[in-house]
């Protein structure tokens, strides 16, 4: 097993981590980072990253039982968010990732989701895909194809809520309240509502991804918040409607816009360009554990 695949080598768990004063390289590793229990007191002079969400911390881990810290408490943007990538197909089973492992990471600076295109990541990702697949995958589009967004003759809307903890901690509401609110507004306009709750990775792995449901079903659009579903929907050819933070940029529209009669169909070139920007915020774990993400690689 490669060194980057051994979780114990980086020694970090869910929560906020701040770069040590004594750090000498940029490996994401316990040697270089220590727990940060109050991000509001950081000034940006030392790099911080949020590894997943603090509520997932288990007993015995540094952040277990500690209060949730909202990323809006940062007074600077010298921090990154680590979670699942915004191009989810990278984690699906494919020649570059035959076991469907969580080896790819969302590494967004200054936010939990990509808000604007600040770089280009496609070429770098393609090089890694070629390496890991031994040449069987040469372009990211081969494992994450983009379908032309089309408006179907349907009144069915697929509502895709995030996990309950996201609503409780980030938005001071509940998942069910969000579902009820969205469903009420949609039904008042004559739409049929179907809800797809977030599934575990094992449940999704057997041709049960959101992409599968959208390509096989007859849905007018999806509605989501704080979810990669927004961009996955567009890549699957289904318009995306959002009610809050999302990773689809101007390819998606708000629920109010949709209810007023707007439903755009972005062209494939614009979708590819946006996805290329999302890939700038995707890292393979090897890049993080080696320091390669910052420009220096430690063997």
pLDDT at 5: 47
Q: Distance between CA atoms of 231 and 262, rounded to whole angstroms?
A: 18
Q: Are 71 and 49 in contact (CB under 8 A)?
A: no
**Residue 17 token pair:** 């981590």
Q: What domains, with CATH codes, occur in the chain?
A: 3-143+278-294 (no CATH), 156-266 (3.40.50.2300)
pLDDT at 284: 96
pLDDT at 10: 61
Closest CA to 266 of 236, 228, 224: 236
Task: Give pTM, 2 decimals.
Answer: 0.92
Q: Is the dihedral of CA 211, 88, 57, 38 positive or negative?
A: negative
pLDDT at 4: 46
Q: Distance between CA atoms of 221 and 73, rounded to whole angstroms?
A: 34
pLDDT at 281: 98
> Which whole-number Å values give the CA distances from 161 to 167, 224, 254, 267, in the listed order?
9, 6, 15, 26
**Residue 192 token pair:** 């049929």
Q: Distance between CA atoms of 254 and 223, rounded to whole angstroms?
A: 9
Query: What string of pLDDT tens digits covers the 299 residues of the chain?
Result: 344 445 554 678 899 999 999 999 999 999 999 999 999 999 999 999 999 988 888 888 899 999 999 999 999 999 999 999 999 999 999 999 999 999 999 999 999 999 999 999 999 999 999 999 999 999 999 999 999 999 999 999 999 999 999 999 999 999 999 999 999 999 999 999 999 998 776 676 667 899 999 999 999 999 999 999 999 999 999 999 999 999 999 999 999 999 999 999 999 999 999 999 999 999 999 999 999 999 854 43
């Amino acid at each position: 097993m490669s060194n980057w695949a051994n979780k114990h080598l980086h020694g970090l768990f869910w929560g906020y981590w701040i770069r040590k004063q004594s750090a000498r390289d940029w490996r994401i590793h316990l040697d270089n980072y220590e727990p940060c229990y109050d991000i509001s007191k950081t000034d940006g002079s030392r790099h911080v990253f949020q590894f997943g969400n603090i509520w997932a911390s288990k007993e015995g881990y540094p952040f277990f039982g500690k209060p949730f810290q909202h990323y809006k408490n940062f007074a600077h943007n010298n921090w990154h968010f680590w979670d699942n990538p915004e191009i989810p197909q990278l984690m699906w089973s494919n020649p570059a990732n035959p076991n469907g492992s969580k080896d790819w990471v969302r590494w967004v600076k200054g936010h939990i989701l990509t808000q604007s295109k600040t770089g280009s990541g496609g070429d770098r990702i393609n090089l890694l895909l070629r390496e890991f697949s031994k040449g069987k995958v040469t372009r990211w589009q081969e494992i994450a194809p983009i379908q032309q967004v089309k408006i179907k003759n349907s009144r069915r809307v697929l509502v895709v809520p995030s996990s309950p903890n996201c609503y409780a901690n980030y938005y001071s509401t509940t998942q069910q309240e969000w579902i009820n609110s969205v469903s009420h507004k949609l039904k008042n306009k004559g739409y049929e509502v179907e809800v797809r709750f977030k599934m575990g990775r094992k449940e999704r792995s057997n041709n049960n991804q959101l992409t599968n449901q959208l390509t096989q079903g007859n849905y007018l659009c999806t509605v989501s918040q704080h979810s990669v579903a927004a961009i996955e929907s567009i890549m699957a050819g289904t318009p995306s409607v959002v009610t809050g933070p999302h990773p689809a940029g101007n390819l998606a529209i708000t629920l109010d816009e949709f209810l007023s009669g707007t439903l755009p169909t972005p062209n494939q070139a614009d979708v590819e360009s946006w996805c290329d920007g999302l890939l700038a915020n995707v890292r393979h774990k090897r890049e993080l554990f080696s320091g390669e993400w910052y420009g220096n690689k430690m063997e």
